[in-house]
Amino acid sequence: MQGLAMNAEDLRTLCKGPVIDAGDAQFRNALHGNLWNRLIPDRAPRMIVKVADEDDIIATVKFARAHGLKVVVRGGGHNWCQPTLRNGGILIDLERLNRILSIDVEHRRAVIQPILSNREIQTALNAHGLAFPTGHCPQVKASGYFLGGGMAWNPTVWGYGTESLEAIELVTAEGTLIRASESENADFFWAARGAGSGFFGIVTKYFLKLHPLPKAIHGSQSFYRLADAPAVGTWLGQAAPAISPSVELTLFLVQAPPALADKAAGSNGWVCMVTATAFEDDPEAARRALQPLDDAPVEPLSRSRVTPLDFEQLFDASGALFPEGVRSRVEATYSDHCPGAVMAAILPAWQRAPSAISVFLTTIFCGPHVPGPQRDMARSITSKIYGGPWTMWHDADADAVNAEWHRAVTAVLKPFNVGYYIGETNTVEQPEIVAQAFTPEKWRRLCDLRDRYDPDRVFFDYFDGLTAEPSREVG
């Protein structure tokens, strides 16, 4: 441990932010305290640096190069399989880079640091009549969101979050601070938009292209019997091409709300829930956009409209589905199959779900031009539907039964998959699916760029420093 202590002390002289080594009393809290998933693997770096600014990042990267250490970067700690936990090396924690640097209302531009949450970004922008295609979970930070590709609100109008990025600033594997865009250092800009935990740089600033805040955000919510989920899914899949692209449409399998508990008793409390959100500027246009959702082939258990909505309410609803402080396994996939067929395949297993807080999500993209074209970025897969199981539970004693059930559910879904979402799937226990988050051409380019820009492998890639074992709770 003497060499480790000496290295940590040397790095402390270079950084303004705290450097915490494995022998420090606060090490475990610094390592695990901000992790979203409380199913925590037994992996740990040699040191953690809570950087204060870009200079700290540069100093740490150069220090790692000089000492033959790898670095891994943590943004918000929300990635479900926790790829920021690696054995050995240095963990660079960005949690202090959490400011909005500028908002240019007239030109609809903003510059932010990486640790701004989806909710914080929208709150700041909405006050100026502006919006950005942030993600759905209120707590997710910009860093991981953009690296994953940016699964956004209002996706068929605004596109993915990465499509509204104009530039970034980042620190390279050489310890150099550069700006990257489509016209400068374009390879870094291409890779940063979708490479996930395998990105070979540390983004310190994001330059956003903003959108006018829709003036009429309206929503609808319908509940159906669980047994009706295949029929409802088939109907929605057939209707989606004719539904306005302004509608974000999602089918869930969830526990029934208290008012419907009696009607769901025969299915262990599970129901099918359909939500639709129209992002329009005129209330009548929003009403027309949602009208096709009233034409279900089966009678709903209940139906309601919420008008108007704002992003605070949207985040509250989304956050309630994915609570904090739970143990989680997630597999988010893309598919071009009929959502009704997916529902029919999954129902026998879902009725036996061991945890009542688990959720099955299927987003059905609306409009005549789905799936959309490939974009010039690492983010690759487009499809007609997106989703999968979010298996969530509270107690460590239930780890084994939930893990076994989750693996059974994902096995049922494999024939439907055309790809995975790199930011919300278990690439640690299933490293073979990393490449399936990209088209073959983009995967080859990503590997080639890593060889070119990080030949010494300063950054942990997707596979280094991981253990295959699932995990235990670390208090």
Q: Which helix or strand (DSSP H or E) is residue 350 part of?
A: helix 339-350
439, exposed or middle or buried, with CB in 10 Å at 0-12, 13-18, 19+?
Answer: middle
Residue 84 is classified by DSSP as T
Cβ–Cβ under 8 Å, residues 197 and 79 = yes
pLDDT in tens, the chain (475 residues): 445 555 789 999 999 999 999 999 999 999 999 899 999 999 999 999 999 999 999 999 999 999 999 999 999 999 989 999 999 999 999 999 999 999 999 999 999 999 999 999 999 999 999 999 999 999 999 999 999 999 999 999 999 999 999 999 999 999 999 999 999 999 999 999 999 999 999 999 999 999 999 999 999 999 999 999 999 999 999 999 999 999 999 999 999 999 999 999 999 999 999 999 999 999 999 999 999 999 999 999 999 998 899 999 999 999 999 999 999 999 999 999 999 999 999 999 999 999 999 999 999 999 999 998 889 999 999 999 999 999 999 999 999 999 999 999 999 999 999 999 998 999 998 999 999 999 999 999 999 999 999 999 999 999 999 974 333 333 3
Alpha-carbon distance 80 to 62, whole Å?
29
| 335 located within any domain | yes
Are residues 326 and 404 located together in one domain of the fold?
yes
Let me know if residue 439 belongs to a domain: no
In a domain, 470, yes or no: no
Residue 422 within any structural domain of the chain: no
Q: Which of 212, 237, 265 is the last residue of a domain?
A: 212
Residues 171 and 247 in one domain: no
Residue 255, H or E segment? strand 247-255
Residue 404's domain comprises 216-417
Residue 289 shares a structural domain with residue 357: yes
411: phi then psi, degrees, rounded to nearest 5: -65, -40
* 180: amino acid identity, one letter: A
**What pTM was estimated for this model as a whole?**
0.95
Count of structural domains within the chain: 3
Classify residue 441 as exposed, middle or buried by CB count within 10 Å of its CB (0-12, 13-18, 19+).
exposed
SS3 state of residue 107: coil
Q: Tell which phi-psi region holds residue 374, choosing left (phi > 0), alpha (psi between -120 and 50) or beta.
A: beta
For residues 275 and 162, membership in a common domain is answered with no
Same domain, 248 and 373: yes
Partners of 195 in the beta sheet? none
CA–CA distance, 221 with 190 (Å, rounded to integer): 38
- Indicate whether 242 and 383 sit together in one domain: yes
Domain check: are 404 and 300 in the same one?
yes
